[in-house]
Structure 1
């Protein structure tokens, strides 16, 4: 009989929880997490809190639920979709890893070059990418040390610099806000939260955390590991929530300092200069480099872990995948940040809704998430995500036509109500048949 989680003697101490929480935070907090919130705040004005609510729904709540799902499953990304079918799960996993190493991972190198290298050195983006992903490869190969390095060394430095920027802005500027530039602030926040890749990141880096804990705590029981992951996820989620809201508020407070057409990276650089003064470039360079680097390490490690698992625990497969991921990172990392974000949008509008429903279905009790429920909800989500996918490809007329038939379609959330309705109906019909 399973032991009650609250009464059992858990051998999880505070230090282990903090190290794991810091590691989770650093794996999530990368390029998009740093450059997206300030511009959201800058464009939201007095409605910054509504934008923050939408952004945190897709960039904090869903990712943390993804880690909770990993705590329950304690397997790989393959387990997220296996109730739909093994073939679907394998294709889904491969798509997730291809997107991850092809877009968000290289984007971390591009952001590092634009914000941490270019202001100091007149060197090409190729050189930055080569050095950057060579270091990533070294970290990924030293697999067993990742959790300690991320949790004890890199994350505290990231958090300290972020609090310096946010704290200075909050205490230096009056709480007077400009006119919002968004028509639908909440949904704008949700969709921009997609660009963090954190829901996808949850199913990728959650596996990294599981394997790292297994390497460190080989004798720990299922319930002990579950408790450690859950507590760490809640702490990491709280940290992300505070940082995101702080960065969005900072962008809103400083709206009058920058023009309406300011870019994401220019805005972050400008905010840093106004809050940290003469040391801004040094601090922002360290912050960007650390935040981006930890995410790239997590993505490449997660991809290599999965391939290793599929090839019967082959270390050769792990090393080859890590090398391939870093080579792809070097290739794509030479492009500028705006280009990579634009290229990523169609992939996100296609895979993100499916990822969200898989996370939610794996969180709910098993009695509400049968194989039939999984299949019905995933298929429904896929169908009702088509208009947003077409819009991201530039087919605006087709998108507008289809959105007219779907509730919330104009907010690019047309899949939400149909997926919820099918989930409810499938469960009610399942009970009637039983």
Structure 2
């Protein structure tokens, strides 16, 4: 690999890592570690599936389908990319992810130093920077990959390595079984929103690769996949380290918030400097994600409306809505986010996995439609369960669906739907 290609891989890979690694990615792993204690390895594997492997699979699904999420959705149905893409963009954009980045930055990076400061002013500064840097999408990847991410990685590596070398306490005992610990890690990975984001971020990275001269399909796919592998390696190190720090934190307060736990871990490991380090980590992690997501929202809806809504106008609207919701606070945003994410995640995961596994050998649409319909039905039932619409008798019957009680009930039905789609396609073709 020549020097220019190496530089491009580092820029694109670090940019992709920083896009993925935002508010939830820094806050969620320590609390998972605290919850599962000595079962941290199982939870780490499960969280890695939804937080690392599936996002990488999402990138592959776009690479195999074309240049953007529209190309992926159009393989199934011409309306799918617009409908599902809109739901995804609202979730990873102004409704959940972007407000959470600002709220997290304030609670972890600002509030410990300025406890009397109104969170509104922290959000004003945060979104002013986001708007300035997102307004020029061509510069997003280079700014994030070349300048912001290296600082973030160095600070995180310092915290994690020091915590592993000198752990605060022994592993906490766990009241959860191995299966429960796995389920907790897997489902908590939904809150990173990275599978949803991956099918959008892939388009940004592909565009950046094309701008750097990788225009033919082979070279473009190669540079994006290598960059994706670099990103996943960084995520694996960071997630594993943060879950370990949570499991060895020695924290006895079961009601501690995510932000408070992260602050406490940083203080125990690095003292007062730990607060400064984690504050900077949070600012860089959240800012890079906020910039990337705001740019993605503007690009997606501008293309969806065929330019009737300009990129600049959409970025401004997205920033204003995100600013308003960010004042709610991190925990309220995360608690609010779980039901919609629990609904949309199984659908996107099904689409991504089946396209990557079978997209090159099965070209017909019916199997994928069958799998998506099955996942959508189960996701709807899961949503109604979370909202409390079912009585005990109904839940008992629904729990007969394999893995439904662990919020993974979409797995087997999607396989059945895919097989039924294949059978239908075979007989209809005859």
State the secondary structure of the residue aligned to 1:366.
Answer: coil
CA distance in structure 2 between the partners assigned to 1:223 and 1:12 by the alignment: 17
Instruction: Report the TM-score when normalising by structure 1.
Output: 0.92
How many Å apart are 1:262 and its aligned residue? 1.6
Name the CA shift for 1:279/1:47 in 2 (closer, same or farther; >3 Å): same
Instruction: Say whether residues 1:107 and 2:100 are aligned partners.
Output: yes
Describe the superposition over 1:283-325 as per-residue Cα deviations: whole angstroms up to 9, x where unpaired. Answer: 11110010011111111111111123234457x6100110011
How many Å apart are 1:258 and its aligned residue? 3.8
CA distance in structure 2 between the partners assigned to 1:295 and 1:147 by the alignment: 11
Instruction: Please name the residue that 1:55 is paired with.
Output: 47
Q: Any conservation in 2 of the 1:76–1:306 contact (CA below 8 Å)?
A: no
How many Å apart are 1:417 and its aligned residue? 0.9
Choose from 261, 267, 271 the match for 1:273. Answer: 267
Instruction: Please name the residue that 1:404 is paired with.
Output: 399
1:66-85, aligned counterparts within 5 Å?
66-85=58-77
Instruction: Please name the residue that 2:36 is paired with.
Output: 44
Q: Any conservation in 2 of the 1:129–1:329 contact (CA below 8 Å)?
A: no
CA distance in structure 1 between the partners assigned to 2:4 and 2:395 by the alignment: 52
Once the two structures are overlaid, the 10-residue window that deviates more, 379-388 or 177-186, is 177-186
Instruction: Say whether residues 1:97 and 2:89 are aligned partners.
Output: yes
Describe the superposition over 1:24-68 as per-residue Cα deviations: whole angstroms up to 9, x where unpaired. Answer: 000000000000000111111111000111111111111011111
How many Å apart are 1:389 and its aligned residue? 0.8
Instruction: Say whether residues 1:146 and 2:148 are aligned partners.
Output: no
How many Å apart are 1:75 and its aligned residue? 2.5
CA distance in structure 1 between the partners assigned to 2:240 and 2:363 by the alignment: 33
Once the two structures are overlaid, the 10-residue window that deviates more, 162-171 or 72-81, is 72-81
CA distance in structure 2 between the partners assigned to 1:174 and 1:274 by the alignment: 7
How many Å apart are 1:89 and its aligned residue? 2.2
Which runs of no fewer than 5 residues in structure 2 stay unpaired?
A: none
CA distance in structure 2 between the partners assigned to 1:215 and 1:274 by the alignment: 45
Instruction: Please name the residue that 2:8 is paired with.
Output: 16
Instruction: Please name the residue that 2:316 is paired with.
Output: 323
Once the two structures are overlaid, the 10-residue window that deviates more, 144-153 or 192-201, is 144-153
1:73-222, aligned counterparts within 5 Å?
73-101=65-93, 102-121=95-114, 122-173=116-167, 176-183=170-177, 184-217=180-213, 220-222=215-217
Which runs of no fewer than 5 residues in structure 1 stay unpaired?
A: 1-8
Instruction: Please name the residue that 1:6 is paired with.
Output: none
Instruction: Please name the residue that 1:28 is paired with.
Output: 20
CA distance in structure 2 between the partners assigned to 1:71 and 1:173 by the alignment: 41
1:301-312, aligned counterparts within 5 Å?
301-312=295-306
CA distance in structure 1 between the partners assigned to 2:16 and 2:22 by the alignment: 11
Q: Any conservation in 1 of the 2:168–2:268 contact (CA below 8 Å)?
A: no
Instruction: Report the TM-score when normalising by structure 2.
Output: 0.93
How many Å apart are 1:87 and its aligned residue? 2.0
CA distance in structure 2 between the partners assigned to 1:264 and 1:361 by the alignment: 34
Q: Any conservation in 1 of the 2:367–2:420 contact (CA below 8 Å)?
A: no
CA distance in structure 2 between the partners assigned to 1:394 and 1:289 by the alignment: 37
Instruction: Please name the residue that 1:239 is paired with.
Output: 234
State the secondary structure of the residue aligned to 2:106.
Answer: helix
Instruction: Say whether residues 1:335 and 2:335 are aligned partners.
Output: no
Q: How many residues align structurally? A: 423
CA distance in structure 2 between the partners assigned to 1:278 and 1:366 by the alignment: 54
